[in-house]
Structure 1
Amino acid sequence: MRTVADLPGPAASPLVGSALQLRRDRLGFLTRCAREHGDAAAFRVGGSAVVLLSHPDAIRELLTVRQHDVGKSPVLQRARAVLGDGLLTSEGDVHLHDRRLLQTAFSRQRVARYAEEMVDVAADVVGCWVPGRPLDLHAQTVRTTLTVAGRTLFGTRLDQDVELVAAAVRDVLSAYPVLMLPLGRVLVRLPPARWRVRRGTAALDALTARLVGERTGGGPGRDDLLSLLLEDSAPRHARDQVVTMLLAGHETTASALAFAGHLLAAHPSVQDRVSAEVREACDGRGVPSVDDLERLPLTRAVLAEALRLYPPAWTMGRQARVTTAIGDVEIPAGTVLLASQWVVHRDARWWPDPTAFDPDRFLGQAPERPRFAYFPFGGGTRQCIGESFAWTEGVLTLATVLARWRLRPVPDRPLTPDPLLTLRPRDGSWVVPEPRPD
C-alpha cells in the first residue's frame, strides 16, 4: 500500500505549494499533472494535500465505493457563504432528504411535460436572430435556459430578469479563483471579490424573495419545484435551493450548448448532417418535439461530444472524512481528492485522437471503455439530479437552432474556456447565423 507521500507530483513552492500554478492555468496544470506523473499525482495547495485521480477505475471507487468516506471539497464548503446549503453544497441527511424531495420535479413524466416549453422558448429566441449579424451564442443559450428554468421549475416567467440573473451568476462564479486558494474563506471577504460576490448574492436574494413572495401570496396550488420546496422547507432553505437550481439548472446546459454550437460552426459537414437529421425528424413541422428525441441520435451525439471536449462540470472534488484507500493508495483524513472530467475526457487511452471533434464516437457500437472514462454528470449518489432534464433541453434546443439556421464561425472571436465553478466560454461563443433554405 502506497502513501500520499509516495506519489509523484509537480515541484511545490514554499508555503503555497502549487496554488499559484493551479490558479494561473487550472486546465493546463491538471492535464500536465496527469500526463507527467500518472494516474495518481499528489501536490499541495497551501497546507492541504491534494491527490489527482485520473484513472476511471479510481474515479469509480471514489464516487461510489468510497463515497461515504468522503465529503464535499473545501472549495464547495467555502462556497456555502454564497450558495447557502443547497443541493450542491449540502451533506449527509440534509442532502439525502433534499435530493429525494427534488427528484420528483425531474421525473421522466415531468421532463416530458417540460419539453414543449423548451422548444417554444428556443424557437422564440432564435426567431429574433438577424441573418449575417454575429452573435454571442452563449448569451443566447443563457437566455434560453434561464427562461426555461423559470417556466418549468419555478412556474414563473423570468424573461425580463435574464440580464439580472446572468450578471448575478457571473459575479458569484467570479469567486471561484479566490475560493480555491488556501485562505479562500478569508480572501473572498476582501475587495474586490467581496464587492462582486455581495452584488451577485444580493441580486439572487432579491429575485428569490420575489418568487417566494409571489407564490405565498395566494393563487392556485401548483406542483412545480418551488411549490415543493415551500411546502417542505423554511424560507431560507428554499432560497438556497432556488439559487442552486438557478445556477445548476441553466448555467451548465447553456455552456454545453454554446460549446456545441462553436464546434458545429467549425465543422460545417457535421452541421449539415445534423440539420438533415433534424429536418427529417420534424417532417415539415419546423420545430422538434419530445417524441422526436429517439430520431435525433446524431444531434444527441454532438451534444455528448461537446460534453466530452468541454465538460461544464470540469472537475470534481472530495475531502476524506476518515482514513480510507483508493486503489493501492492510503488516503489520510483531510486529503483533498480531485477527479477531472477535462483530463479524463481527453485521455488518449480511452479516446483516440482525443482533441478532435468526432460525434460518431457516440454512434453505433461503442468501443469498450471504463464506465468513468466519461462522466459529464458525475456519479454515485451525488450524480446530477437534472441529467435527464439537461439531455432533453440540450437536444431539443440544438435541433431547434439547426432546423432554421446555419452557424458560421467568427474568425477574430476565438473560443477560450474559463474554468470557474463551471466551465464556460470566457468571452462568449461567437457565430454568424445564416438562414437555411426551406
Structure 2
Amino acid sequence: MEELPGPAPAPLVGNALQFRRDRLAFLTMCAQEHGDAVAFRVGPAALVLLSHPEAVRELLTVKQHEVTKGPVLQRARVMLGDGLLTSEGEAHRHDRRLLQTAFSRQRVARYAHEMLDVAADRTASWAPGRALDLHAETVRTTLTVAGRTLFGTRLDDDVALVSGALRDVLSAYGLLTLPMAGVLLRLPPGRRRVRRGTAALDTLTARLVAERAEHPGTGDDLLSVLLEGTDRRHARDQVVTMLLAGHETTANALAFAGHLLATHPSVQDRVAAEVLEVCGVGGQPSVEDLERLPLTRATLSEALRLYPPSWAMGRQAQVPTQVGDVEVPAGTVLLASQWVVHRDPRWWPEPDSFDPGRFLPPAPDRPRFAFFPFGGGTRQCIGAAFAWTEGVLTLATILARWRLGDVPARRLTLDPLLTLRPRDGVWVLPEPRVAA
C-alpha cells in the first residue's frame, strides 16, 4: 500500500488506544488533520479511513464485490449469527431476495397503521411536566411495532428482556474492534454479558419461531416468509438481526430528533406547525399524509446527519484493490464513517448546527454519498423505507400531542457501539399541546 498520511502508531498496539478512548473524536481528527484517505492501525490490522463521498460511493457500489464486511461484523457472528447484517456472497443475495417481500411498498403502507396505533398508545401514557427518557420510550415503541409488523406477535411484555439483551450484546463492541476479539470474548466479564444477552435472544427467538410454526397466521409478516423459505436456525439469525436493525436504529434516530427539537424550540415550533396543519392538536397523521410532512421528514434527516445510528461502515478487501487514488493490498479494512462525512463543512456549511432546511428544496448540489445513513449498494439497509415511514409518522404523532422541553441537568452523552446510541438516555420534559 502506498504511503498514506495518518496519526503516528504506537509500537504493537498501533492507534488502538486512541481509537478506543474516543472513537468519534479520533476519526474526526484523522479526516481533519490528514485528509480524505488516512491510514492507521489497530494492533496489526491496517485500516484506511475514506472521507470523500466519491470514494464512499465507489467502495459501497463499484467495489462491493471485491470486499466483504469488516472484521467487527465478522466477529459479531458469534452473537448475531448469519443474518443479513453479517452474511456474504450468495447467502446474502438469497436472503435479501427472500426478505424483500416483507419490506415492499405495499407491505410498509399496511404496517403504517400499526406504527400509528403504537405511537398514539405510547404517547398517551406520558405525564405532563414529568421528565422522561425519550430513548426508552422510542425503544418500547419501535420494538412493539417490530413485533406486530415483522413477527406477527406482541412483544409488549418483552421490551425489558430485548433491551437488556441488546445492551449486553452491543457492549461487546469494544472487544470486537480488537484483533484478539475471539479470545477476549471468552474471558470475564465480557463473556458473561455476551452469553447472557445471546441466551436471552435465543430464548425469545425460539419462542417466536415456535409460535409462528404452530399458528401460521396470514403469512404477511417477515417471520412467516422466513419459515417458508429457510430452516429454524437461520430464521433465528434473521430475527435477531431484525430485532437489532428493525427497531434499535429507528429508536435511536427518533430519540436524537426529539433531543434536537427540545434544545431548539424555534425549530420545534416550525415543525409542529406543519404537523398541526395536517392533523390538528392531538390528532394523528396517516400514511397518506407523508408527502404533506416535508419539514418533519427533513428534521429526521437532519437528526440522521448529526447523529447517524450507523456511524461507520467497514469493508475488508479480499483482493488487492483501488478506491479512487488509493491502492490497498488484500486484508486492508476500508472504513467509511457517516459521522465524519455527515459533518464535513465542504458539503454541510456550519456542520455542527441543527438546520432541517438543508433537506428542503431547493436542494444544494452536494455529492450523493455526502449523506448515507442507510449505507449504499446491494447492502443498503433493506428496511430503509420502513424506517422512514415509522420515523416520520411517530415524530408527527409526538409533536401533535406534546411540546418537548429540554432538561438541562441531563446532558446527552453518546455511546458509539455497533450503533450510535445515547449512553444515559435522552431526557425531555413533555407539556401538552393546546389549540391556538
> What is the match of residue 421 of structure 2?
424
> What is the match of residue 11 of structure 2?
14
Quote the offset at 1:218 in angstroms: 3.4
> What is the match of residue 32 of structure 1?
29
How many matched pairs? 435
Q: Does 1:73 align with 2:74?
A: no
Quote the offset at 1:84 in angstroms: 0.2
Q: Does 1:100 align with 2:97?
A: yes
Return the alpha-carbon distance in structure 1 between the equivalents of residues 88 and 216 of structure 2: 34
Q: Does 1:117 align with 2:114?
A: yes
Unaligned runs of 5+ in 1: none
| Amino acid in the other structure paired with 1:338 | L
Q: Does 1:261 align with 2:297?
A: no
Which of these residues, 274, 278, 281, is aligned with residue 275 of structure 2?
278
Which of these residues, 169, 183, 186, is aligned with residue 183 of structure 2?
186
> What is the match of residue 363 of structure 1?
360
SS in 2 for 1:318: strand
SS in 1 for 2:153: coil
Matches within 5 A, 1:315-334: 315-334=312-331
Quote the offset at 1:284 in angstroms: 6.7
| Amino acid in the other structure paired with 1:271 | Q
Matches within 5 A, 1:169-208: 169-208=166-205
Quote the offset at 1:247 in angstroms: 0.5
Which of these residues, 150, 153, 159, is aligned with residue 162 of structure 1?
159
* 1:325-352 superposed Cα distances (whole Å, 9 cap, x missing partner): 0111211000000000000000000000
CA shift in 2, pair 1:343/1:284, >3 Å: closer
Matches within 5 A, 1:279-318: 279-283=276-280, 286-318=283-315
Matches within 5 A, 1:232-271: 232-271=229-268
| Amino acid in the other structure paired with 1:249 | G
| Amino acid in the other structure paired with 2:236 | R
* 1:161-216 superposed Cα distances (whole Å, 9 cap, x missing partner): 01110111101100001110121121112111110111111111000011111111
Return the alpha-carbon distance in structure 1 between the equivalents of residues 346 and 44 of structure 2: 33
* 1:346-380 superposed Cα distances (whole Å, 9 cap, x missing partner): 00000000000000001111110111110000000
Q: Does 1:152 align with 2:146?
A: no
Would the aligned equivalents of 2:216 and 2:224 in 1 still touch at CA under 8 Å? no
Quote the offset at 1:287 in angstroms: 0.6
Quote the offset at 1:220 in angstroms: 3.9
Matches within 5 A, 1:209-248: 209-218=206-215, 220-248=217-245
Normalised to the residue count of structure 1, the TM-score between the two structures is 0.98
* 1:281-329 superposed Cα distances (whole Å, 9 cap, x missing partner): 1157711110110010000000000000000000000000000101112
SS in 2 for 1:172: helix
Q: CA RMSD in A?
A: 0.9
> What is the match of residue 349 of structure 2?
352
Would the aligned equivalents of 1:19 and 1:182 in 2 still touch at CA under 8 Å? no
CA shift in 2, pair 1:397/1:315, >3 Å: same
Return the alpha-carbon distance in structure 2 between the equivalents of residues 29 and 296 of structure 1: 37
Q: Does 1:57 align with 2:48?
A: no
Would the aligned equivalents of 2:306 and 2:339 in 1 still touch at CA under 8 Å? yes
| Amino acid in the other structure paired with 1:394 | G
Would the aligned equivalents of 1:16 and 1:182 in 2 still touch at CA under 8 Å? no
Return the alpha-carbon distance in structure 2 between the equivalents of residues 239 and 399 of structure 1: 33
Would the aligned equivalents of 2:282 and 2:433 in 1 still touch at CA under 8 Å? no
Return the alpha-carbon distance in structure 1 between the equivalents of residues 141 and 301 of structure 2: 19
Return the alpha-carbon distance in structure 2 between the equivalents of residues 218 and 350 of structure 1: 51
Unaligned runs of 5+ in 2: none
| Amino acid in the other structure paired with 1:287 | Q
Would the aligned equivalents of 1:9 and 1:41 in 2 still touch at CA under 8 Å? yes
Return the alpha-carbon distance in structure 1 between the equivalents of residues 359 and 327 of structure 2: 36
Between 271-280 and 33-42, the greater mean CA deviation after superposition: 271-280
| Amino acid in the other structure paired with 1:316 | M
Return the alpha-carbon distance in structure 1 between the equivalents of residues 306 and 114 of structure 2: 28
Normalised to the residue count of structure 2, the TM-score between the two structures is 0.99
> What is the match of residue 391 of structure 1?
388
Percent identical: 77
SS in 2 for 1:418: strand
Would the aligned equivalents of 2:257 and 2:299 in 1 still touch at CA under 8 Å? yes
Q: Does 1:339 align with 2:332?
A: no
